């Protein structure tokens, strides 16, 4: 278990790259000069920051401005697509400021990394690293940007002191991300993301990825002697966000709870904290609500494994619509399936499309090859540019052991390296006896082109 400390108040560094490269870092501008075929860049960071967020990127990059303080960087072939996809970045940043207070980092730029980048995004200050898998062509996956923007306060200003308290970074950020999305796109969006986070990511992780007694399902797990990468999961994200949602609902005043978030950030900005720091501050700010806070099963939420002791209140109307459509696919007659209008699915939000597919996958009913092929064709799923949709229907194929889609899935997990997609698909292929050798061979052939983190994670599953 490693501690996470803050660096000096003023960070200064230099990098030297070939003249055709563009150097980049978390600084809003560079001093540079050319000599002997190289460009040398000097950059400074006046804002205190955790050492783990120090990052440098260099490559053949181009920049497109989004606003006076926001821009996107990418390779020439990708930069215009990225500029269009991330059009709402400034709107998201302003909305985050309304929720969390003044943005303290100067610029907020994005850089689109190569496909092998293992994460959806990385919140390096002033220059968020993002995967190209969120460029869907319809701005349907930009909640990742809202998440990384929220990290500018929760994670980058106030940081978990060690990885046992990772939820202070990620649970808070998911909670704030969904607040941002709700303010921009409607409260229904926030409600739907909350219930999907609980059902599809948290409960699935507790019951399927681990088990309800596993140490890693605790919000504050013991990581002595454990590589934090091995414990990485959706638990700190979704269980942490759910705790904050339960608190907001039980305290009964969203505006006051949002003010508490701003006060918490102001109090601990520039410092590393543990869960007790946050909890003591919560009790101090809501001293008049001590009876409400005392009613929370804190051990059940923080230090016990498995499903949390309380379920937040969810609006499930949109979820019912998704379940109904999925039920036609799992239980309907051939005639009922034929009558389904493709436009109904087409008009759903990205999250709702994924939910329909996830409901099919978790129904406990394997498709026949004929029914799965109808699903693919009716919704033209194989031509989707949305990686979340691709991932979800791939899980249906794996559960149904639909062999014709295996080449497609192997291509998907080797042309991009996002762990969210690559790890589960490879894991299920390795457990499919008839496909295991093929999947292992494909993985080993692709290792030289993979990010070291991804290659290490996948190799441990063989």
Please check whether residue 206 lies inside any domain of the structure.
Answer: yes
**Same domain? 23 vs 140:** yes
**Same domain? 139 vs 222:** no
User: Alpha-carbon distance 139 to 141, whole Å?
Assistant: 6
Please check whether residue 293 lies inside any domain of the structure.
Answer: yes
- pLDDT value at 418 more than 60: yes
Q: What is the number of domains present in the chain? A: 3
Please check whether residue 17 lies inside any domain of the structure.
Answer: yes
Spatial CB neighbours of 433, under 8 Å, sequence gap ≥ 6? none
Comparing CA positions, the residue from 161, 346, 159 lying closest to residue 270 is 159
Whole-model pTM?
0.90
Q: Given CA atoms 392, 398, 400, 404 in this order, what sign does their dihedral have? A: positive
**Same domain? 247 vs 125:** no
Comparing CA positions, the residue from 33, 23, 137, 151 lying closest to residue 87 is 137
Do residues 239 and 171 touch, judged by C-beta distance below 8 A?
yes
Q: Which residue has the higher pLDDT, 122 or 55?
A: 122
**Same domain? 334 vs 278:** no
**Same domain? 18 vs 141:** yes
**Same domain? 448 vs 375:** yes
Q: Last residue of a domain, which of 104, 127, 152? A: 152
- pLDDT value at 20 more than 80: no
Please check whether residue 385 lies inside any domain of the structure.
Answer: yes
Spatial CB neighbours of 293, under 8 Å, sequence gap ≥ 6? 282, 283, 286
**Same domain? 74 vs 197:** no
Please check whether residue 157 lies inside any domain of the structure.
Answer: no
**Same domain? 42 vs 16:** yes
The end-to-end CA distance of the chain, in Å, is 26
Mean pLDDT of 80-102: 98
237 is catalytic: yes
The catalytic position among 108, 164, 170, 237 is 237
Domain span at residue 205? 163-302
Q: Last residue of a domain, which of 130, 152, 174? A: 152
**Same domain? 387 vs 425:** yes
CATH number at residue 245: 1.10.390.10
pLDDT (tens digit per residue) in 176-189? 999 999 999 999 99
- pLDDT value at 153 more than 50: yes
Do residues 87 and 104 touch, judged by C-beta distance below 8 A?
no
The rounded mean pLDDT for the chain is 92
Please check whether residue 137 lies inside any domain of the structure.
Answer: yes
**Same domain? 331 vs 283:** no
Within 13 Å of residue 439, how many CA atoms lie on the same side as its CB?
27
148 is catalytic: yes
**Same domain? 131 vs 243:** no
Please check whether residue 2 lies inside any domain of the structure.
Answer: no
User: Alpha-carbon distance 336 to 33, whole Å?
Assistant: 68
**Same domain? 213 vs 126:** no
Please check whether residue 277 lies inside any domain of the structure.
Answer: yes
The catalytic position among 15, 85, 123, 148 is 148
- pLDDT value at 378 more than 70: yes
pLDDT (tens digit per residue) in 23-63? 454 444 556 777 777 777 777 788 888 989 988 888 889 99
pLDDT (tens digit per residue) in 321-349? 999 999 999 999 999 999 999 999 999 99
Per-residue pLDDT, 26? 41
Q: Last residue of a domain, which of 152, 176, 192? A: 152
Pairing relationship of beta strands 158-160 and 121-122 according to DSSP bridges:
unpaired
CATH number at residue 57: 3.30.2010.30
């Amino acid at each position: 278990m490693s501690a996470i400390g803050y660096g000096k108040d003023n960070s200064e560094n230099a990098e030297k790259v070939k003249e055709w490269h563009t150097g980049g870092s978390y600084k809003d501008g560079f001093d540079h000069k050319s000599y002997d075929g190289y460009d040398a860049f000097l950059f400074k960071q006046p804002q205190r920051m955790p050492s783990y967020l120090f990052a440098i990127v260099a490559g053949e990059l181009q920049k497109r401005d989004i606003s006076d303080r926001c821009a996107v960087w990418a390779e020439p072939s990708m930069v215009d697509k990225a500029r269009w996809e991330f059009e709402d970045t400034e709107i998201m940043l302003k909305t985050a400021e309304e929720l969390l207070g003044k943005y303290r980092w100067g610029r907020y730029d994005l850089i689109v990394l190569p496909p092998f980048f293992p994460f959806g995004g990385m919140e390096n200050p002033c220059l968020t690293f993002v995967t190209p898998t969120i460029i869907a062509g319809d701005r349907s996956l930009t909640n990742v940007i809202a998440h990384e923007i929220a990290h500018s306060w929760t994670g980058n200003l106030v940081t978990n002191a060690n990885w046992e308290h990772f939820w202070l970074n990620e649970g808070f950020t998911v909670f704030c991300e969904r607040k941002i999305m709700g303010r921009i796109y409607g409260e229904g969006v926030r409600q739907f993301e909350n219930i999907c986070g609980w059902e599809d990511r948290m409960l699935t992780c507790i019951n399927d990825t681990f088990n309800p007694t596993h140490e890693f399902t605790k919000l504050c797990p013991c990581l002595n002697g454990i590589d934090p990468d091995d414990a990485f999961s959706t638990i700190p994200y979704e269980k942490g966000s759910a705790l904050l949602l339960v608190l907001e609902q039980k305290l009964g005043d969203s505006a006051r709870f949002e003010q508490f978030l701003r006060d918490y950030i102001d109090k601990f900005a520039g410092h590393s904290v543990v869960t007790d720091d946050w909890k003591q501050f919560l009790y101090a700010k809501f001293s008049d609500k001590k009876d409400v806070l005392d009613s929370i099963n804190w051990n059940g939420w923080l230090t016990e494994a498995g499903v949390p002791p309380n379920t937040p209140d969810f609006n499930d109307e949109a979820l019912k619509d998704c379940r109904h459509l999925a039920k036609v696919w799992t239980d309907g007659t051939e005639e009922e399936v034929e009558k389904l209008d493709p436009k109904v699915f087409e008009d759903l939000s990205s999250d709702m499309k994924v939910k329909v597919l996830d409901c099919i996958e978790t129904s406990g009913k394997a498709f026949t090859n004929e029914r799965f092929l109808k699903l693919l064709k009716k919704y033209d799923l194989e031509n989707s540019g949305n990686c979340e949709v691709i991932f979800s229907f791939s899980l249906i194929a794996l559960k149904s052991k639909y062999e014709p889609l295996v080449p497609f899935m192997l291509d998907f997990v080797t042309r991009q390296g996002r762990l969210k997609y690559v790890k589960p698909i490879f894991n299920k292929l390795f457990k499919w006896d008839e496909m295991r050798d093929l999947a292992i061979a494909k993985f080993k052939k692709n290792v030289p082109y993979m990010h070291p983190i991804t290659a290490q994670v996948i190799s441990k599953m063989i």
